[in-house]
Structure 1
Amino acid sequence: MITRELAAFVEFARNVAPDFGPATARAAFLVAPDGFRLAEQSAADNRYMATAVDFDAVHAARQHHELQRALSQVLPTVCFAGDAETPDAVFPNNVFATAAGRYVVGRMRHPVRQREAERVDIRGFLGGVLDYAEIDLSTQQHACELTGSLVIDRARGLGFCGLSERCDEEGARLMHEAFGLRATLLFDLAPGEYHTNVVLAVLAGRAALVSPGGFADPRVPQAIADLYAPHGIMLSPGEHAAFAGNAIALSDDVVWMSARAAGALAPGTREAIAAAGFQVRAVELDGIEAGGGSLRCCVAEIF
């Protein structure tokens, strides 16, 4: 099922067992912020990006290394070299994603990011070292920026796809098929939002962080929160702006987010996350966040 019909999706999703696959990844990879700078094409539709003077490549590299070190305590975390010709490559989850036995290459909206899909080293690692089959969506014309646009409940095989300039309906359909999902809900993001994973995080299949201001139709975030009740956690505008929705669970008991995001959490939000069985771990990433994304955007999961 892939649909815009909210009621139909919810009726289906409520009865889906968490037996689709592992709820969290078995490994992850990052791409170093080598040559990290403002990508003007990306800035055209990413309101979270800072101005050029706010980019500090040395500071970003130091924080990115600490991110890899921290995540490596939880699961194997590989880091590929960056490239000055692809300044947004620090956010590889938009370009490369995996499912059982296969990897998907996305179609990026902007040419500066389309270059990332040509990385022979990452393709060689996923296809050669891991021996995953390739599903290459990068050469077709419909934008589909993978797990930036499509938030996936891996335990249930459910997708939540926000449509924007970064993903159209056909791109969503292609991703739905590539990941082999049971059901995907399509909805419009609010004006000014570019990726779903900035406004929604599904945590190990049993909880959700939801920023209602990021959705064009207020019924959608409420329905998603209800679907994960009692652990559907609504974020305030301040938490949303601080990237609290750009979080990820890489194990059953920890949710990762940037220090800025963690610092913005209200006491009630922290309590709700704890009640869902998670502790919050945070990494300083203000240098990376200048690029318009945060911790989750840096992590390409390997399932």
Structure 2
Amino acid sequence: MSHDERLPRNRTYLMCPPEHFTVEYAINPWMDTKVAVDAGRALTQWEMLRTTLTGLGHQVHVLDARPGLPDMVYSANGAFSVDGTVYGARFKYPQRAAEAAAHQAFYTSSFAWRYVEPQQVNEGEGDFAYLPGAYGGLVLAGYGFRTDPAAHAEAQEVLGRPVISLKLVDPAFYHLDTALAALDDRHVTYYPDAFSPASQRVLAQLFPDALLADREDAEAFGLNLVSDGRHVILNTEATGMARKVSAAGYLPMPVDLSELKRGGGSVKCAVAELRA
């Protein structure tokens, strides 16, 4: 990865406060129902993440939390938007199913978006990433644990952008956004062993200059990051990842999200990007 000037680009995001956040069921290896969540601390940490983003000049819309949906704080999973078109989510687990309607209501309340309801199971930006500067606009899509691979073809028809299917093989990294992140419009970072050997070859072909992470980075949720092209917001535990992005010319901005990690998510899970 070359070290040319890393320039930030103003972004628009959607977040949902963890007002009802608990770990009352386990649908990924990180969730432990026996350890209580500190609700006040979770809200404080979330607010710090939000103010970090707004402090960088980004716009953050806030989706109202709904009772009975403790995972709504992971707003990245609710939809995936490209060029003003929104491909809605359809969650694998019934515990999260109603989140999709809350996100749909947000998009359909505004004339700015064309919302398309999905037929296939997919979990929004949890399993989709977009790189507008790569190959004219490229969607990377994960499958293996949550999103049905048939959703990748459906997303391509909805969005009119090429979609590259990548197979996730490690249950610890059950969503694409735990194993891969866009650092800017053209560059990615990822943990190779989270993917099948064939998907590793695909990524190496598409992104020969990618920033490669190791298992320690991935287990610290260091790939579950948000970047504006210059500033890389990632959780404080991911010290090794912070050093790597810094060496690559980006500016790491650590935020403590230890409570949200109890539910199997970190910075990126809590932040959906709105691409008009």
> How many residues were matched structurally?
264
Query: Matches of 2:192 and 2:219 in 1, distance apart?
Result: 12
- List gaps (5 residues or longer) in structure 2: 1-7
Contact 2:80 2:128 in 1 (8 A): no
SS at match of 1:256: strand
Residue 224 of structure 2 aligns with an amino acid whose one-letter code is: N
Query: Matches of 1:236 and 1:299 in 2, distance apart?
Result: 23
SS at match of 2:237: helix
Q: 1:224 aligns with which of 203, 208, 228?
A: 203
SS at match of 1:35: coil
Residue aligning to 1:11 = none
Identify if the C-alpha distance between structure 1 residues 291 and 148 changes in structure 2 by more than 3 Å, giving closer, same or farther. same
SS at match of 1:71: helix
Residue aligning to 1:292 = 264
Residue 18 of structure 2 aligns with an amino acid whose one-letter code is: P
Percent of paired sites with the same residue = 25
Query: Matches of 1:187 and 1:104 in 2, distance apart?
Result: 18
Q: Which is worse superposed, 156-165 or 219-228?
A: 219-228
1:9-88 to structure 2, matched below 5 A, reads 26-40=11-25, 43-44=26-27, 46-74=28-56, 75-88=58-71
- List gaps (5 residues or longer) in structure 1: 1-22
Deviations along 1:89-119, whole A, 9 cap, x unmatched? 0111111232222222111101121101121
Q: 1:146 aligns with which of 108, 118, 124?
A: 124
Query: Matches of 1:124 and 1:77 in 2, distance apart?
Result: 17
Aligned-residue CA RMSD (Å): 2.1
Residue 223 of structure 2 aligns with an amino acid whose one-letter code is: G
* TM-score of the superposed pair, with normalisation by structure 1: 0.80
Residue aligning to 1:128 = 109
Q: 2:250 aligns with which of 274, 278, 283?
A: 278
Contact 1:54 1:290 in 2 (8 A): no
SS at match of 1:72: helix
Query: Matches of 1:244 and 1:226 in 2, distance apart?
Result: 23
Residue 147 of structure 1 aligns with an amino acid whose one-letter code is: E
Identify if the C-alpha distance between structure 1 residues 109 and 292 changes in structure 2 by more than 3 Å, giving closer, same or farther. same
Deviations along 1:215-258, whole A, 9 cap, x unmatched? 122x533542453343x111111111001111121x22111111
* TM-score of the superposed pair, with normalisation by structure 2: 0.87
Q: Which has the higher helix share?
A: 1
Q: 1:260 aligns with which of 234, 237, 251?
A: 237
Contact 2:188 2:211 in 1 (8 A): yes
Identify if the C-alpha distance between structure 1 residues 59 and 135 changes in structure 2 by more than 3 Å, giving closer, same or farther. same
Query: Matches of 1:241 and 1:224 in 2, distance apart?
Result: 20
